[in-house]
């Protein structure tokens, strides 16, 4: 799992995983009525749930910052990655916890104004182990290179002029 490998490489001391088997992607739902135009990987209210869990952890650990990794292109597809969502979410989280208010908790989105290409370029400059990252929307040990996440990854690396360390050698520069 990419998250475990990246956390280990970064020296994360307390890396937790939460199982949420009831969350379904749009492609797995019986009824998709009212979800027109959203990608098959959309999970209803996913970020409200994830950041609620992050706020619980921040409260427990007395943290003052929750860091989001969404970029500008995410906001074009997912409503729950934009400015309005995070403004109201931060207010709601603070309203629900005097400990978060006391710690002056902030939701921080350092990549929010950047494109995926700019994020890849920044990651390379910072020495992020890009060979440990995961973009595929399918389960497995290898990227499929066909899903929305894989296609966006290929475009971002190509636009940044950076070779993707995960791209199979036989399909590079195709």
* Residue 147 phi, psi (nearest 5): -75, 170
- What is the mean predicted confidence (pLDDT) over 34-52? 90
* Residue 7 phi, psi (nearest 5): -60, -40
Supply the pLDDT for residue 36.
Answer: 83
pLDDT tens digit sequence for 134-161: 999 888 889 999 998 999 999 999 999 9
**Using 50, 70 and 90 to split pLDDT, how confident is the model at 174?**
very low
Which two tokens mark 85? 């969502």
Q: Domain segments of the chain: what residues?
A: 38-114, 115-174
**Using 50, 70 and 90 to split pLDDT, how confident is the model at 170?**
low
User: What is the helix (H) or strand (E) element at residue 108, kind and residue range?
Assistant: strand 106-108
pLDDT tens digit sequence for 49-95: 999 999 999 999 999 999 999 999 999 888 899 999 999 999 999 99
Average pLDDT of the residues of the chain:
92
State whether residue 142 is helix, strand or coil: coil
Supply the pLDDT for residue 34.
Answer: 85
Q: Is the pLDDT of residue 171 over 70?
A: no
Which two tokens mark 28? 């797995």
């Amino acid at each position: 799992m990419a998250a475990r490998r990246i956390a280990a490489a970064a020296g994360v001391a307390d890396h937790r995983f939460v199982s949420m088997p009831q969350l379904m992607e749009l492609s797995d739902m019986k009824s998709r009525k009212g979800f027109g135009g959203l990608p098959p990987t959309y999970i209803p209210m996913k970020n409200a749930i994830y950041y609620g869990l992050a706020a619980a952890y921040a409260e427990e650990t007395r943290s003052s910052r929750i860091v989001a990794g969404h970029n500008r292109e995410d906001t074009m597809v997912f409503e729950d990655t934009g400015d309005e969502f995070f403004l109201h979410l931060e207010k709601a989280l603070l309203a629900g916890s005097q400990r978060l208010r006391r710690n002056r908790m902030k939701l921080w989105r350092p990549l929010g104004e950047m494109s995926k290409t700019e994020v890849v370029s920044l990651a390379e400059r910072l020495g992020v182990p890009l060979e440990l990252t995961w973009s595929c929307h399918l389960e497995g040990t290898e990227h499929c290179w066909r899903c929305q996440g894989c296609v966006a990854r290929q475009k971002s690396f190509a636009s940044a002029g950076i070779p993707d360390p995960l791209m199979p050698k036989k399909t590079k520069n195709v």
